[in-house]
Structure 1
């Protein structure tokens, strides 16, 4: 019989917080945090920096940006696909595993935007030549190169030429640059100059099975307890592939992962955590509350689909009233929403709690805001909406 959610839901949240390094032991560096999580959703770059930094001991925005600049952390379209941070040592094999499904998923948009085989091959050559030899280029600069060749330089056609080049192992993120106004702008670089490890197209046969096993070990090791369907939705792979990955993982690292039944679902997680799950203490108010400000696309949210309800609310979401959309966690459970804004060299955090904060919860929120201010290097205040 499955265990009662009222008994094990807090334990699931505690294990996820720990495995995702939102609780100690934290990662030693931003690169280590990304390597641990394998891929970190990163379409909103300013908030994605925080996602990485808050899993380390005191990393600042500048430290994360430096890891992106020197290529330890790469940003590209991978998995579902959307923008993700991936460690340079993992992107080659992960792209080889994702390559076919990414292109298949984009086929409709390729047809709509005219990105056929001939056009993609031509734009790929132009884009590769533009960034070769460490000549990192902004989107605007690459648009100019395609425009000169009579290829799309704006709109969806341009976007999908760039994405095709990323998925094909031609382009990847370069070193960000500052505009004249001080805004951080992303650049593109040559994939083979930034990625550690060979990428020669889609993986097949034993190489693909080995990669599936590695993905299973890394996903469930960093996000467990999680289900096969959770992993499938996160990775963009089929459930059949995830199950094969779990089978291969048992040979690659015998005993590393275990399965438990909770709420009529099969969860996979590190074996040590499976033994501890039922014995974890339930928060009862005897210890100070802990608040985490996470972005709405944080892996604590996006790492799950079938079992995201253990978060205790619906996320991510787009508010209709232009309100905050990033997530306030109270002891690992969704408790409100937040956003940042900048005025006069300071940061204001607008926070909307689902229920009025107690004195202790307010103190925990202020402490987390101070940590965010240290990350930004700015004075930070909290405004409750």
Structure 2
């Protein structure tokens, strides 16, 4: 498998090419978890993998708790489907607690303080209450905790990792921005779903889901993405293949095994799928810098290519323009008030490659505007 085949096959496995997901929930189930600290852009990461989901569709799934936003895997925000959160949280929480240990010590979050703060937060959100970060801080402070700044963030994360709280329905601030709330874990995922899988079973599920949704990829890619050890990933891979030897295909590139789903054994084109209209200069995609097409890899991220690093290059915006799956520029959006009745979006677009033509970019911007449901220009 050459570099072009790796790129094309990854675009297909990640559903950035046809066949797209039927809904944002289906896109999330395919990817298992999606990095989500940039909330509006993370919603787009799901929407652009579907056959027409809008920002409102994704927002509704988040509000209803079908899509949840919480800390797991590496200690950062992720979207995860409520049916996957219980076992994935149980698998990753010990590793994230370990990664957080130095910060826990620095902020005075020892075992006793953590257990007591978890209890305070559990009581605060009981009975269907959805509380903002500021409201949780008030509850903790009333109980005697110095809960502000970094300490507050880690008290809340500790409770998320322990299955005490999880994202509630977002609320709008006075400025119109969406703000995260927190609710009781069991109430959002359902009591029957709170029982985790055995660790071996979870590792097998993690490996199978990762390589199906991001293959071709390496064991180190999966370990760095999931926060698990390479030994755990190898065990999960072995268990998944023991259960179903045909579950994954593999190929060797420069002496390193890459794994992927058998349905992707025929390499895909990185451009438009057959039958779609294509700009002669290639297919353009606007993705967020934390998109799984970027963050899903570490050892083999080099296939992304591009002029510079993934994050801002010489003052460029931080989000990524792809040309046939390779980095070709940077972008960001700005939502503007345009008077009654609504809003409009302006994109700051920086193209690095001269062969990129306007028709492909026009099409990409139109897809983004359709997702937002507002006029979008660049």
Cα drift, residue 281 of structure 1: 5.8
Match of 2:350 in 1: 352
Distance 1:151 1:129 in 2: 15
Structure-2 separation of matches of 1:71 and 1:281: 36
Quick one: distance in 2 between partners of 1:340 and 1:281? 28
Secondary structure in 2 aligned to 1:370?
Answer: helix
Within 1, Cα distance between the matches of 2:98 and 2:214?
27
> Which residue number in structure 2 is paired with residue 372 of structure 1?
368
Matched, 1:381 2:377: yes
Tell me how far apart the structure 2 counterparts of residues 183 and 42 of structure 1 sit (CA, whole Å): 16
Pair 1:282–1:67, CA change in 2 (3 A): closer
Rounded Cα–Cα distance in structure 2 between residues aligned with 1:151 and 1:68: 30
Determine if contact 1:47/1:295 at 8 Å carries over to the other structure. Answer: yes
Contact in 2 for aligned 1:19/1:222 (Cα 8 Å) = yes
Q: Does structure 1 retain, via aligned residues, the 8 Å contact 2:9–2:269?
A: no
CA drift of 1:320 comes to 5.2
Instruction: Give ranges in structure 2 of 5+ residues lacking alignment.
Output: 273-277
TM-aligned CA deviation for residue 105 of structure 1? 1.0
Residues 229-260 of structure 1: CA deviation (Å, up to 9, x unaligned) = 00000000000000001110012333010211
* Counterpart in the other structure of 2:328: 335
Look up the match of 2:359: 363
Q: What secondary structure does 1:24 align onto?
A: coil
Aligned residues: CA RMSD: 1.9
**Matches of 1:300 and 1:109, distance apart in 2:** 29
**3-state secondary structure, aligned to 1:166:** helix
3-state SS of 1:133 partner: coil
Are 2:245 and 1:249 equivalent residues in the alignment? Answer: no
Cα deviation for residue 272 of structure 1 reads 3.6
Secondary structure of 1:134's aligned partner: coil
Question: Which residue is 2:39 aligned to?
Answer: 45
Q: Could you say which residue in structure 2 is the equivalent of 1:106?
A: 100
Q: In the alignment, is the contact (CA less than 8 A) between 1:297 and 1:316 conserved in 2?
A: no
Aligned ranges 1:157-168 → 2 under 5 Å:
157-168=151-162
Aligned: 1:289 with 2:278: no
Gaps of 5+ in 1: none
Question: Matched residue pairs, number?
Answer: 366
Q: Pick the aligned partner of 1:230 from 221, 225, 246.
A: 221
Q: Which residue does the alignment assign to 1:220?
A: 211
Looking at structure 2, the residues matched to 283 and 319 of structure 1 have their Cα atoms a distance apart, in angstroms, of 25
Work out the CA distance in 1 between the residues paired with 2:147 and 2:355: 49
* Consecutive aligned runs of 4 or more in structure 1 exceeding 4 Å deviation: 280-288
Match of 1:301 among 279, 294, 304: 294
Q: 1:147 aligns with which of 141, 145, 148?
A: 141
Cα displacement (A) at 1:371? 1.0
TM-score, structure 1 normalization: 0.91
2:52 pairs with 1:58: yes
**Contact kept in structure 2, 1:40 and 1:86, CA below 8 Å:** yes
